[in-house]
Amino acid sequence: MMELVAIVKVTVNGRLTLPKEVRERLSIKDGDRLKVYVTEGKIILER
């Protein structure tokens, strides 16, 4: 089940910031690589 944690804004350069809570919960650090999937109108990031 998916949990809505935050709503983020996309910058003019197409970037977004993962909220601190998300980074901490998933132990995402600077330089980590994430997989990006697009399916049924959704973007899914996977550690």
Full-model pTM? 0.80
Cα–Cα distance list, 46 to 11, 12, 35 (Å): 21, 24, 5
Tens digit of pLDDT for each residue in 9-45?
Answer: 999 999 999 999 999 999 999 999 999 999 999 999 9
Q: Domains of the chain by range and CATH?
A: 1-47 (2.10.260.10)
Report whether pLDDT(2) > 90: no
Give yes or no for a contact between 36 and 44, defined as CB atoms under 8 angstroms apart: yes
DSSP secondary structure letter of residue 14: S
Tokens matching residue 7? 């709503």
String of b and e for 18-37 (b: at least 16 CB within 10 Å)? eeeeeeeeeeeeeeeeeeee
Model confidence at 1: pLDDT above 90? no
